Amino acid sequence: MRCLFLVALLLFIPGIALSKRAASRTPVQSAAVADVVLVGTVTDIDKDPLVAPSAPGAADKIAYTVATVQVTDAIRGLKTETHVKVGYTPNARTPLNLAEKQDYLLFLTKHHSGNFYVLNFMSPPVAIGAGSKTTVEDVKSVGKILADPAKALKAGKADDKAFAAMVLIMRYRSPSESGTEQTLEAVPLEESQSILQALGAVDLTTTPQDGGFQFLQAFYQLGLGETDGWKTPEIKPGEQAVTVLHKTFNEWLTGAGAKYQIQKFVPKVK
């Protein structure tokens, strides 16, 4: 199975235009943070844009191009929907462009209005074609992890456990891209510890194969601080920062970290 992958730490509200665009996520990273993941065919693209607020209560608005997508494979997040409306803001700086009659692997966020889904420029669509079968299968493996974290964290191979741990860290530690208000909630102790132990067991000599996850980025996404009993180690000349951090992390796990519960983003109840 895949080895470790680079965690994308920067999240942006869909539709915001930037003069310099951050690197896109890999498909497995996109699958970890999206509300909905599907394979579908664009059957129609509306001629007139749909204008909607950029965030709940915001005065500024975004003009979305809206495509109708027929769902052929609902990988995660849908129930019985056969078609979905997908809004996007195509321009020269982003890869957010859909074409009629083309099949895509899509990573979607529910618009805060609840009426349609949106594409985020950091999670661009993947056109289905020759060579995309492996990508779809990798994305489906992420869906299985999120559907049953306990099972994924009990995988026989350390690499598989680490892959699951980093998927879950990215999911739990990424605020919703819908712009809706979020709060933090503790992940149950047993699951938190399973994730942390799997992360601590990462083989730093392993070269990432695909997907993009690595120990360092996953660690920083946890957001550990002094109140968690974490003390950032001093890196001496000639030392590899990631090696020292990995060692210190495992030492923390046997002390203050033994009771640590990961804090995950969830919608705030009003």
pLDDT at 4 over 70: no
| pLDDT tens per residue, range 220-236 | 999 999 999 999 999 99
Per-chain mean pLDDT for the chain: 88
**What average pLDDT does the segment 59-66 reach?**
94
Share of the chain above pLDDT 70, in %: 88
The token pair at 132 is 């995309």
At 269, is the pLDDT very low, low, confident or very high (cuts 50, 70, 90)?
confident
Residue 1, CA atoms < 13 Å, CB-side half-sphere: 20
**Confidence at residue 57, expressed as pLDDT on a 0 to 100 scale:** 85
Give the whole-angstrom CA distance, residue 181 versus residue 235: 38
List of E strands, the chain: 36-45, 50-53, 61-76, 83-88, 103-110, 117-119, 126-127, 182-186, 263-267
**What average pLDDT does the segment 41-56 reach?**
94
All domains of the chain in start order, with CATH: 27-136 (2.40.50.120), 157-267 (no CATH)
Give the whole-angstrom CA distance, residue 195 versus residue 47: 47
| pLDDT tens per residue, range 74-100 | 999 999 999 999 999 987 676 788 999
**Confidence at residue 149, expressed as pLDDT on a 0 to 100 scale:** 97
| pLDDT tens per residue, range 196-207 | 999 999 877 664
DSSP string, 106-174: EEEEE-TTSS-EEE-TTS--EE--TT-HHHHHHHHHHHHHHH-HHHHTT-SSHHHHHHHHHHHHHHHTS
At 20, is the pLDDT very low, low, confident or very high (cuts 50, 70, 90)?
very low
pLDDT at 188 over 80: yes
**What average pLDDT does the segment 64-71 reach?**
97
Full-model pTM: 0.87
Range with lowest mean pLDDT among 11-15, 145-149, 185-189: 11-15
**What average pLDDT does the segment 113-139 reach?**
92
Place of tokens 């964290």: 153
| pLDDT tens per residue, range 141-164 | 999 999 999 999 998 888 899 999
Q: How far apart, in Å, do the first and last CA atoms of the chain sit?
A: 41
**Confidence at residue 205, expressed as pLDDT on a 0 to 100 scale:** 67
